[in-house]
Structure 1
Amino acid sequence: MRNAQSFDVFDLHHHVGSLDIVGKGPQCAGDMVADADKRIAFMDRHGIAQALLMPSNGYQAPDGIADTRRVNDRVAEYRDRWSARFPAALGTVSPLEGDAALDEIDRCVEVLQMKGIVWHHRFQGCAIDHPRMDALLERVRHHGVPAFIHIIGDSKLESPWKLEVLAERFPDVRFVALDAFSSPDFAHWMPHIARRHPNIVFDTGVMVPVSHMIETFVRSAGAHRLLLGTDFYSSPKLFSSPFPLTEILASDLPDEECALILGGNARLLLGLA
């Protein structure tokens, strides 16, 4: 089997913060170094050269947009302190934060130099196609950055057809479907969505170990539409081995297609190529 060291591997899907909505995660100042040590050790163990950082959307927000701003600042600080391993980061806003969310998108892109905006709607308490998303995506389109949308398989708020609605409304916005292969049903769905919506690319976070149809997807949609993501969280520990990376390395895909999936596509998307 091929090994990761043969490729310049870029992991598109790393969360800074706890998956537990009542946890604080590394938003606490004393946790950042320990978190980076653990994260970089995982990457080194599996041959992952670099990763994209994004907030965990399970953070507490009793003060609304002020808490969101602190989370975005924290992710930007994390990126800057270990920029060799984390050369890019995403910001977030809640669709329920009103016009303040528009200003925060501006700040994320213009001040914090974030490479895109990410949503995890099941944590944020609204559906992907919530009417408020239109104003937010208009601002994303204005800045010319991608919109990262989770479509995890166990959440009706994040059903893929809702992402299709947004992709149709905003054909000139590049959407990244995170967790696109998180169930066998989704895996069969993705090639059809890819054919209908050329402005969506797909990551491998939470890819199921059976019936994930990666090679079928690549034959149908092309290797340029797929990006490696492992869905690494600060806490709790969700896995010991990055299954999508192992599976792609063991696949029958040619090396040039693996190179795109394992890093080339992500770096081009983020302007790091």
Structure 2
Amino acid sequence: MRDAKSFQVFDLHHHVGSLDIVGGTKGGAGSAGDGMAADAEQRIAFMDRHGIAQALLMPSNGYQAPNGIADTRRVNDSVAEYRERWKDRFPAALATVSPLEGDAALDEIDRCIEVLGMKGIVWHHRFQGCAIDHLRMDALLERVRHHGVPAFIHIIGDSKLESPWKLEVLAERFRDVKFVALDAFSSPDFAHWMPHIARRHPNILFDTGVMVPVSHMIERFVREAGAHRLLLGTDFYSSPKLFSVPFPLLEILASDLTDGDCAEILGNNARRLLGLA
């Protein structure tokens, strides 16, 4: 198997904070102060063990928001601070807003791009209480288009709110916006859809977070859609521990893909997308 250190591996899918919706989490792992430092130590140790040079940070999902947009601002500020403190390993970060936060979400997109220097906006609609193609998304994506940054949207395999066809609706409405489908290979069924979706929508890229170990069809996807459409992501959370090894990375390294294709998937594509190349 190829060595990850032969590539400048860039992991596109790291969440800062706990997945509070999963039972048994303690929360607060990505918060400022000693908690943030402890989180970074754990995260960087994981990356070093597996030859991951850099990663893209994004907020955790399911964070408590009794104060609405104020809590979303707090979460985005925390992710931006994390990036700044360890920028050699985390050179870029994403912000989030809820489609249900009204016009305040538009102002927060502006602040995150213009003030915090975020490289895109991410949504995980199953945690945000609405479908991917909710009409409120139109205004948010208009603002994303104005700033010229990508929209990152989760399509986890067990959520009807995040069914891939709903992302297709948005990609059709906003053909000049670059979308990244996170968790695109999270079920064997989804894995068979992805080459077809890629052919229909050239403005969608696809990440490997939560990639299933059997029938993930990655090599077929590359044959049919091209290596330039695929991005390595592991879906790392501060807590709880969801896996011990970065399966998508190991699977791609062990695959029959060419070294050139691996280099694109494991880092080059992400750096180009984020303006880091």
TM-score (norm 2): 0.97
Tell me the CA shift for residue 28 of structure 1: 5.1
2:13 match: 13
Tell me the CA shift for residue 182 of structure 1: 0.2
Question: Given that residues 10 and 48 in structure 1 are in contact (C-alpha distance below 8 angstroms), is that contact kept between their aligned partners in structure 2?
Answer: yes
Mean CA deviation greater in 23-32 or 149-158: 23-32
Question: Given that residues 205 and 230 in structure 1 are in contact (C-alpha distance below 8 angstroms), is that contact kept between their aligned partners in structure 2?
Answer: yes
Question: Given that residues 119 and 150 in structure 2 are in contact (C-alpha distance below 8 angstroms), is that contact kept between their aligned partners in structure 1?
Answer: yes
2:137 match: 133
Aligned pair 1:167/2:156, yes or no?
no
Question: Given that residues 24 and 59 in structure 1 are in contact (C-alpha distance below 8 angstroms), is that contact kept between their aligned partners in structure 2?
Answer: no
Gaps of 5+ in 1: none
Tell me the CA shift for residue 123 of structure 1: 0.5
Q: 1:117-149 deviations in whole A, cap 9, x for unaligned? A: 000000001000000000000000000000000
Residue from 52, 75, 79 that aligns with 1:75: 79
Tell me the CA shift for residue 25 of structure 1: 3.3
1:23-172 equivalences in 2 (<5 Å)? 23-27=27-31, 29-172=33-176
TM-score (norm 1): 0.99
Question: Given that residues 17 and 28 in structure 2 are in contact (C-alpha distance below 8 angstroms), is that contact kept between their aligned partners in structure 1?
Answer: yes
CA distance in 1, matches of 2:62, 2:49: 27
Q: 1:219-256 deviations in whole A, cap 9, x for unaligned? A: 00000000000000000000000000000000011100
CA distance in 2, matches of 1:103, 1:207: 34
Tell me the CA shift for residue 20 of structure 1: 1.5
1:114-263 equivalences in 2 (<5 Å)? 114-263=118-267
Tell me the CA shift for residue 29 of structure 1: 3.3
CA distance in 1, matches of 2:86, 2:30: 15
Gaps of 5+ in 2: none
CA distance in 1, matches of 2:88, 2:28: 26
Q: 1:44-81 deviations in whole A, cap 9, x for unaligned? A: 00000000000012110000000000000000000000
Mean CA deviation greater in 80-89 or 12-21: 12-21
Q: Determine helix, strand or coil for the equivalent of 1:129.
A: coil
Question: Given that residues 119 and 148 in structure 1 are in contact (C-alpha distance below 8 angstroms), is that contact kept between their aligned partners in structure 2?
Answer: yes
What percentage of residue pairs aligned between the two structures are identical?
86
Q: Determine helix, strand or coil for the equivalent of 1:27.
A: coil
Q: Determine helix, strand or coil for the equivalent of 2:30.
A: helix
CA distance in 1, matches of 2:107, 2:195: 36
Question: After TM superposition, which residue ranges in structure 1, 4 or more long, deviate above 3 angstroms?
Answer: 21-25
